[in-house]
């Protein structure tokens, strides 16, 4: 039904007598069909993204080179390199080491509130660098080990970890796909690079603030209690020696973080050569150079730290989804379709201020993402947010950031995010509880993001 509806809407919009220029008119049909395919998931979301460029070419909206070029946008390779490093972390257990080290600290053991805080902080820190789904998959079994089988308090702690994994991804540009999408579109509009440090200065404070908010919400709705059933693993257990694979992976990770941050910091400080270094080492270049370590160094078994057969298993679908979204968004601006949609939204809602626009976009994005991929949501809504901002004469920074950040704040449904699905799959989180707690989180995060975006607008 979704596929048939997408075809019908695409053809219908293309043939309808709309007051659009020819290219914008044909793009409206493509846009309508793509949105329906993403929302209904009649096709796998990455497959729909791969179809965007061919559809743009066939309908005459863009030429082949113009339509396909965004699939190799330099910023996409920042995620490719980041995925390689994350895969090596999982292969050699470096992610588990990092998680276990924090949650088994002496100040945590035996104190339920501190146990929850430790797991939330660990989830947030890990998800800044690796998939929030992988983070939750690592931590959920460890967390369950601190509770008796029928202890109802596990529900609140599992939800808290899921929230933290989603929110931690806001902290860095590689933490969540909507971050990169938002940065890319803002870079196009402003003409200024929006790289690792620029996002860190925005996303990290928001992530910290929302993490604190998430703890208090979870503590209010599901108190951690005064005692634990089973203590976490004792910190006195003998530490496992670092393997060669872990050392090489940590080296690649450190090189990536250094390469992403140092050039931009030097440029911002006005250090001679800082600007040139920043131009020579954009995020994608740094990510690929750092990840080469994984394909050169060998582990204690004599194997490559990351064999290509495993590297090839990274989530290429997300990369293609980025490319398709950038291609579609670029054409929405080029053909003027985004401007037409913006005028329609302004006319229908009477929006006149940045605050009203930010509030509308934030709430809509959060609840829309409950039933749609956060990456697809950002691809669809960020270009429209920017166009509406231009239409009403306000800075696009606040509205675009509101959408990009809100796309990672859907907490009500198991299908909304990977972390939600994983904790729901443990059987310890009833759906009604997830929806009730998630609604409160959605509204609290919306209020906080509206206030933040209004400040930077």
Q: What is the mean pLDDT of residues 427-444?
A: 92
pLDDT tens figures, 302-313: 999 999 999 999
Q: Is residue 385 domain-resident?
A: no
Same domain, 96 and 123: yes
Q: Is residue 302 domain-resident?
A: yes
Same domain, 118 and 49: no
Helices (H), 223-282: 244-268, 274-280
Q: Running DSSP on this structure, what letter comes out for residue 62?
A: S
pLDDT at residue 239, as a whole number: 62
Q: Which long-range contacts (CB under 8 A, 24 or more apart) does 101-108 make?
A: 103/139, 103/142, 103/232, 103/233, 104/232, 104/233, 104/234, 104/235, 104/237, 105/235, 106/235, 108/232
Q: What is the mean pLDDT of residues 209-219?
A: 96
Q: What is the mean pLDDT of residues 224-230?
A: 58
% the chain with pLDDT above 90: 44
Same domain, 30 and 123: no
Give the pLDDT band (50/70/90) at residue 334: confident
Q: Is residue 85 domain-resident?
A: yes
Last residue of one domain, picked from the residues 311, 343, 374 = 311
3-state secondary structure of 232: coil
Q: What is the mean pLDDT of residues 69-73?
A: 90
Q: What is the domain range of residue 6?
A: 1-69
Number of structural domains in the chain = 2
Q: Which of 422, 94, 402 is nearest to 250 (CA)?
A: 94
Round to whole Å and give the CA distance between 55 and 53: 5
Last residue of one domain, picked from the residues 30, 46, 69 = 69
Q: Which helix (H) or strand (E) holds 315?
A: none
Q: What is the 3-state secondary structure (H, E, C) of 368-424?
A: HCCCCCHHHHHHHHHHHHHHHHHHHCCCCHHHHHHHHHHCCCCCCCCCCCHHHHHHH
Round to whole Å and give the CA distance between 436 and 323: 36
Round to whole Å and give the CA distance between 168 and 177: 13
pLDDT at residue 360, as a whole number: 93
pLDDT at residue 221, as a whole number: 94
Q: What is the mean pLDDT of residues 142-157?
A: 81
Q: Is residue 89 domain-resident?
A: yes
Contact 407, 369 (CB under 8 A): yes
pLDDT tens figures, 384-419: 999 999 989 999 999 999 999 999 999 988 878 888
Sequence-distant (≥ 6) Cβ neighbours of residue 407 within 8 angstroms:
176, 178, 365, 366, 369, 374, 375, 377, 378, 381
Same domain, 48 and 170: no
Last residue of one domain, picked from the residues 251, 286, 311 = 311
pLDDT at residue 82, as a whole number: 84
Give the pLDDT band (50/70/90) at residue 382: very high
Round to whole Å and give the CA distance between 347 and 71: 34
Q: Is residue 366 domain-resident?
A: no
pLDDT tens figures, 243-301: 999 999 999 989 988 888 888 788 777 788 888 888 888 888 998 999 999 999 999 99
Q: What are phi and psi of 304, to 5 degrees?
A: -60, 145
Same domain, 18 and 133: no
Same domain, 84 and 57: no
Q: Is residue 344 domain-resident?
A: no
pLDDT at residue 309, as a whole number: 94
Q: Is residue 396 domain-resident?
A: no
Q: Is residue 370 domain-resident?
A: no
Give the pLDDT band (50/70/90) at residue 96: confident
Same domain, 33 and 80: no
pLDDT at residue 233, as a whole number: 46
In whole angstroms, what separates CA 345 from the centre of its chain? Answer: 26
Q: What is the mean pLDDT of residues 50-74?
A: 93
Mean pLDDT score of the chain: 87
For residues 88 and 226, the model is more confident at 88
Sequence-distant (≥ 6) Cβ neighbours of residue 223 within 8 angstroms:
153, 156
pLDDT tens figures, 312-321: 998 888 888 8
Same domain, 184 and 258: yes
pLDDT at residue 297, as a whole number: 95
Same domain, 47 and 175: no
Same domain, 100 and 52: no
Round to whole Å and give the CA distance between 363 and 288: 36
Round to whole Å and give the CA distance between 244 and 290: 17
Same domain, 7 and 52: yes
Round to whole Å and give the CA distance between 300 and 263: 34
Same domain, 164 and 299: yes
% the chain with pLDDT above 70: 95
CB atoms within 10 A of CB 360: 18
Q: Which of 407, 338, 333, 421 is nearest to 377 (CA)?
A: 407
pLDDT at residue 442, as a whole number: 96
Round to whole Å and give the CA distance between 179 and 199: 8
């Amino acid at each position: 039904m979704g596929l048939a509806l997408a075809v019908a809407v695409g053809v219908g919009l293309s043939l309808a007598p709309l007051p659009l220029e020819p290219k914008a008119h044909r793009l409206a049909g493509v846009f309508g069909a793509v949105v329906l395919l993403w929302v209904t998931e009649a096709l796998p979301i990455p497959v729909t993204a791969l179809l965007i460029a061919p559809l743009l070419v066939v309908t005459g909206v863009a030429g082949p080179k113009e339509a396909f070029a965004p699939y190799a946008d330099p910023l996409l390779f920042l995620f490719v390199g980041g995925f390689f490093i994350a895969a090596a972390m999982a292969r050699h257990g470096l992610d588990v080491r990092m998680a276990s080290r924090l949650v088994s600290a002496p100040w945590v053991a035996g104190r339920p509130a501190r146990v929850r805080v430790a797991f939330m902080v660990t989830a947030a820190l890990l998800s800044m660098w690796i998939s929030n789904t992988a983070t939750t998959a690592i931590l959920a079994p460890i967390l369950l080990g601190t509770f008796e089988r029928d202890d109802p308090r596990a529900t609140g702690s599992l939800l808290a970890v899921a929230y933290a994994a989603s929110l931690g991804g806001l902290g860095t540009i590689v933490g969540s796909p909507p971050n990169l999408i938002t940065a890319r579109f803002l870079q196009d509009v402003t003409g200024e690079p929006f790289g690792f440090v620029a996002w860190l200065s925005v996303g990290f404070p928001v992530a910290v603030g929302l993490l604190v908010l998430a703890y208090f919400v979870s503590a209010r709705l599901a108190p951690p209690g005064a005692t634990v059933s089973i203590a976490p693993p004792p910190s006195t257990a003998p530490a496992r020696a670092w393997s060669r694979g872990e050392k090489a992976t940590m080296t690649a990770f450190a090189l990536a973080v250094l390469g992403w941050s140092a050039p931009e910091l030097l440029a911002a400080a006005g250090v001679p050569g800082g600007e040139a270094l920043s131009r020579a080492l954009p995020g994608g270049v740094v990510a690929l150079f750092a990840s080469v370590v994984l394909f050169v160094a060998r582990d204690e078994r004599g194997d490559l730290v990351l064999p290509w057969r495993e590297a090839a298993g990274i989530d290429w679908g997300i990369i293609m989804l980025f490319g398709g979204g950038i291609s579609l968004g670029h054409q929405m601006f080029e053909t003027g379709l985004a401007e037409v949609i913006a005028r329609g939204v302004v006319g229908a809602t009477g929006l006149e201020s940045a605050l009203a626009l930010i509030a509308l976009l934030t709430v809509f994005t959060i609840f829309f993402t409950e039933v749609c991929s956060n990456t697809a949501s950002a691809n669809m809504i960020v270009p429209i947010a920017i166009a509406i901002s231009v239409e009403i004469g306000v800075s696009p920074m606040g509205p675009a950031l509101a959408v990009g950040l809100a796309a990672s704040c859907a907490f009500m449904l198991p299908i909304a995010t990977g972390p939600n699905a994983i904790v729901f799959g443990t059987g310890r989180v009833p759906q009604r509880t997830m929806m009730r707690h998630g609604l409160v989180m959605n509204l609290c995060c919306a209020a906080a993001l509206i206030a933040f975006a209004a400040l930077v607008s």
